[in-house]
Amino acid sequence: MEWTQLRAECALRDLDTVTAVMSMIDNSLMIEDYSDVDEGMNAIYGELLDEEIIKKDRTKAAVSVYISEDRNASEICSLLKERFSALGVSVSLTLSGIKEEDWADCWKKYYKPLHIGEHVVIVPAWEKYDPRPSEVVVKIDPGMAFGTGTHETTSLCAEMIEKYLTPGDRVLDVGTGSGILAVLASKLGASEVDALDIDPNAVKAAGENCAFNRVNNVRCAQSDLIRSADGVYDLISANIVADIIIRMSEKTAEHLKNDGILVVSGIIASQASEVCEAFCGKGLVLRDKAEKNDWNVFVFQKSL
């Protein structure tokens, strides 16, 4: 079996955060941290250290995972870029043996129409698809960075949005990425949708996907989490990572109407209890949950 190295280079100060995100992909990590290496070490230990190691930039670090050939490396890169963007962490991602400019052609072969929930179908922009009368079709061109809907975190979130959104709802999508969940909310009958992301490139991509789907009631804006949220909402969705979702818990209830719904995804099983504790202590009650391949989605409701 062939393996591809996926390497995330970052500032040393961000190493712990990058390690946590990369562990979402696999627990077997290779960490490069040269902060304790200095030029005097060979004088002490003899010629034990390679000169290249001694000359490494000690303000930088890197975390690598190895991806088997039966996994979609480009989709994994897309997920990681979403998460690092949501965290505001600058990371350089590289795939060994694959040039970044070739990703767009490499990953498209994995991305086909995807049926989610009862009636939702996510269709890549370059694919022709003839929907059934009852189907809600979201066409997405995610590029290389902002998500296709194929990952469990996005599909779980989409399923819950379909289940709990009521036509006429006012919706907030935090960490919108490609805008896939915002477009879905609009097509399911939301009266208006605010789609927020900290990354201006994601905001641009989301806006383009809204235009491509001919939805005109979605406002795409740059924001650090819910800082730019406008008033209160019937439904809030956030498909990010557990640590950031927990950080959101301090302010989320303020932006939910009474009986409003919060859908959060991107949560690995080991952090599920922390997320539940964070929101249940803020006037929200757990309404629903689901799991796929160790990923969790939770639905909370604001109590009266």
Residue 141 predicted with pLDDT over 90: no
What is the model's pTM? Answer: 0.69
In whole angstroms, give the CA distance from residue 194 to residue 205.
15
pLDDT mean across residues, the chain: 84
Angle of helix 200-212 versus helix 180-187 axis, rounded to 10: 30
pLDDT band at residue 192 using 50, 70 and 90 as cut-offs: very high
Residue 64 structure tokens: 């690598």
pLDDT band at residue 140 using 50, 70 and 90 as cut-offs: confident
In whole angstroms, give the CA distance from residue 188 to residue 162.
7
Domains belonging to the chain, first-starting first, are: 3-107 (3.30.70.120), 112-302 (3.40.50.150)
Q: In this predicted model, what pLDDT tens digit does every residue of 53-107 receive, in sequence order?
A: 556 677 889 998 888 777 888 778 888 888 888 888 999 998 885 555 554 555 5
Contacts of 265 (CB under 8 A, 6+ apart): 153, 154, 156, 157, 160, 237, 238, 239, 295, 296, 297, 298
- Given a contact cutoff of 8 angstroms between Cβ atoms, the answer to whether 266 and 291 are in contact is no
Calculate mean pLDDT across residues 208-213: 92
pLDDT band at residue 52 using 50, 70 and 90 as cut-offs: low
